[in-house]
Amino acid sequence: MPVALAAKEKASDQQSIEQTGAPSVPFDEYNAKLLLTNAISAIDGASGGGISNWATIAGRQETRGIGVQAHVTAVLLPDYFYQSHGLAVGIADRVEFSYARQNFDTQDVGAALGIGQGYKLNQDIVGAKVRLVGDVVYGDALVPQVSVGAQYKRSLDGAVASAVGAAHDQGVDFTLSATKLFLSHSILVNTTARLTKANQNGLLGFGSVADDSYELQFEGALAYQFSRRFVVGSEFRSKPDNLGLGEDDWFDLFAAYAPTDNFTLTAAYADLGSIATFTGQRGAFLQAQVAF
């Protein structure tokens, strides 16, 4: 569907809401979100972009339903292989609960670092997010959807985290996100502030023996919706360098396509910089997601 037609349909829904309180679609379709506005699954399991958290709530259901989305993600890097899978539940487009398991294969680097060839770092992440005000799609264009969240992360490799100087093998991140889709321009903007102690997202523990304080980091995203089913965009995520290993900020360029209402495929070029002193970690981010 051309962008102009998609925007026209969205604008019609917006006008109907302002006049009657409900979109101009059949009653049984009202409780389903517009395609792609439940976002994809971030590597930590929450709804958003691939590397950043957004204010979106998981699942396809709107204010009268319970939505669910599940994902499998892989990131292919020159010296590492990352895989994660998870599940997120959205309740009444207001509250989200998420879980993700991260598996980070060190491949040949494991031997070089003295932890063993192909050693896998693993982490569990449990998250919660609450929409405070606004709506991603509807309402005043100058009022974004704003959500607050928390993610409890537990590294399953505490001995490795301790060996590299981490203070803890578990920690909690706190996020405040604002997201808005500007319908007339088919442009989505997101900003997120994150309080964190995580080293490499928590896979190398939290904080350091020298500095165990929280740091404020920034995440941002900008995307253009070519049609109801296809969107391209870019993300940025700043990160602390608690361990002094030269941990870099993250960046990606992504494209997401929904061949059906319940299935989304995402591919991205991801630049993760230096990981455990091995620089130039750039590669492909691939994700398959189902949502209801």
Sequence-separated contacts (24+) of 22-26 with Cβ below 8 Å? none
* Assigned token pair, 127: 């998250």
Q: Which helix (H) or strand (E) holds 13?
A: helix 3-20
**CA 12, 89, 147: angle at the middle one, nearest 5?**
65
Record: fold of 3-291: Porin (2.40.160)
Between CA 155 and CA 119 the distance in angstroms is: 14
Stated pTM of the model: 0.88
243 is written with which tokens?
Answer: 């361990």
Residue for token pair 């969205």: 10
pLDDT at 255 over 70: yes
Measured distance CA(195)–CA(167) in Å, rounded:
16
Q: Rounded distance, CA 263 to CA 267, Å?
A: 14
| Span 103-113, pLDDT tens digits | 999 999 988 88
pLDDT at position 16 over 70: no
**Which of the four pLDDT bands, split at 50, 70 and 90, describes residue 44?**
very high
The pLDDT of residue 222 is 98
Report the share of the chain in percent with pLDDT over 90. Answer: 83
Q: Measured on CA atoms in the order 182, 53, 131, 56, is the torsion positive or negative?
A: positive
| Lookup: tokens for 152 | 């409890």
Is the dihedral angle over the CA atoms 93, 67, 28, 25 positive or is it negative?
positive
Query: Which amino acid type is present at position 257?
Result: Y
Amino acid (one-letter) located at 39: A
pLDDT at 131: 98
C-alpha–C-alpha distance, residues 159 and 164, integer Å:
9
Beta bridge partners of 40: 48
Residues 243 and 193: their CA atoms lie apart, in Å, by: 21
Does 17 have pLDDT greater than 60?
no
Decide: helix, strand or coil at residue 282: strand
d(CA 272, CA 223): 20
CA–CA distance, 124 with 201 (Å, rounded to integer)? 11
pLDDT digits (tens, 9 = 90+) for 219-245: 999 999 999 999 999 999 999 999 999
pLDDT of 21 higher than 90 = no
Q: What is the 8-class DSSP label of residue 36?
A: T
For 122-149, the pLDDT digits (tens) are 999 999 999 999 999 999 999 999 999 9
Of 29 and 54, more confident: 54
Four-residue CA torsion sign, 14, 15, 17, 18: positive
Q: Would you state the pLDDT for residue 32?
A: 86
Measured CA distances, 252 to 234, 269, 272 (Å): 6, 5, 8
Whole-number pLDDT of residue 291: 97
| Res. 1 pLDDT band, cuts 50 70 90 | very low
Residue spans per domain, the chain: 3-291
Please state whether 160 falls in left (phi above 0), alpha (psi between -120 and 50) or beta. Answer: alpha
66-121 confidence digits (pLDDT tens)? 999 999 999 999 999 999 999 999 999 999 999 999 999 999 998 888 899 999 99
